[in-house]
Structure 1
């Protein structure tokens, strides 16, 4: 059996209970060394074989995992955050399907959740935004034209942008061209939940300079939108004048 496990956003105690147990039981671990906190590996048992996939190709990863699974070993493929978001797991699962190898997925806490925690923020504020867009700037991996930052920005929703901290000048241009005002609140969250986490609040227009001033070029999430401001409406859920199935409205 192969288990794809989300390691969480960084802090070693933000892996799920299930994920931690799978790591403890694993005979083989293949982890994304460039992103996963190596402290997670301390959970592994003596004799567990550990491979850092940072320098490996898909084929090399499969050459480790498939023979181990066929030999009856428990293999953990440890991904950062939640493996369903920019985890490149579909291509791995397709190979395993073709080989008839059983696998399962253990979800993890995504870094976009860790960023909100670091910001002490709520992405979905009433009368501000009820939609969160997770996306990225086009780089070596292209983005469909219909999902360009400019087009997504036209919604005015909360945006959390992965893999874009090295292109903040262009990102700001695209956000503004899409409809955001230059003074729209924005934030850079570097290594959310890690011990060396840093948070920088700015505006869309100030993103590039803020990153330059603080030496940020990678391993950061960019958040954009009015949720970072001070104006919003109180939720109906806890409004005394609002009735629902668990509570009558106050007069």
Structure 2
């Protein structure tokens, strides 16, 4: 089955490292005639490498009307089009409103997932985000800023769960983040890591606890393009694991292996 050429492909570029784009995403870039990319977050070198012959439009200074016009016109001209977003377009990607406009224009589209920065940050930390008897839930969220969040999703509310949390788009308000987290299930001793520009050559990691992370972030001058990871799982590399997964326990039987009988 071949892809229909006359549709818009929303492609996740990955977190920064050009090699972290998917095979399908890279292929679509190589084949496209037009690429509209989020230049404030997507590395131009990625566009240049995979789509050197395409007409490239940086959407950083554009509004929804302008990007839609480019996409619709390119499809009308019979061209192959990629709308390139950072990370995975389903996470804070603002693609729903773009797809709505394409629906109005009768333009077909497809979404190609990518590696979101939360998982690039976890890879940098060499940290599993779900650990037995520690946390089996990962919450991806943000603090309210210029973009509001529903009252039921205030950081202090979701912090009551005490799960592993990955906080996007909030490092510039890190002191408020700490205050909100402490209003939930976390304590001053809860481990925290801030990963700035995950997977980029200038990636920076700041580790600490809720008692000192705000000062460390301020001292490092981190103001944007950073994730805040919070939770007891982050203590595992320092303190060891409290429990191991049953998946590889020699005494555990599952569909692919019979456990040792003692």
Settle same-fold status: TM greater than 0.5. Answer: yes
Are positions 1:134 and 2:129 aligned together?
no
**Unpaired runs of 5+ in structure 2?**
1-6
Residue in 1 that maps onto 2:105: 99
* Paired residues for 1:65-84 under 5 Å: 65-84=71-90
* Paired residues for 1:136-175 under 5 Å: 136-175=142-181
| Pick aligned residue for 2:253 from 222, 225, 243 | 243
**Unpaired runs of 5+ in structure 1?**
none
Shift of 1:141: 0.6
Residue in 1 that maps onto 2:242: 232
Shift of 1:111: 0.5
Shift of 1:45: 3.9
Residue in 1 that maps onto 2:24: 18
Residue in 1 that maps onto 2:51: 44
Shift of 1:207: 1.9
Count residues in correspondence: 250
Distance 2:219 2:52 in 1: 43
Distance 1:216 1:210 in 2: 9
What's the TM-score once normalised by structure 1's chain length? 0.98
Shift of 1:4: 0.2
Q: CA RMSD in A?
A: 0.8
| Pick aligned residue for 1:8 from 5, 14, 27 | 14
Deviations 1:217-246 (A, max 9, x none): 100000000110134310010111111111
What's the TM-score once normalised by structure 2's chain length? 0.94
Shift of 1:179: 2.0
Residue in 1 that maps onto 2:66: 60
SS of equivalent to 1:172: helix
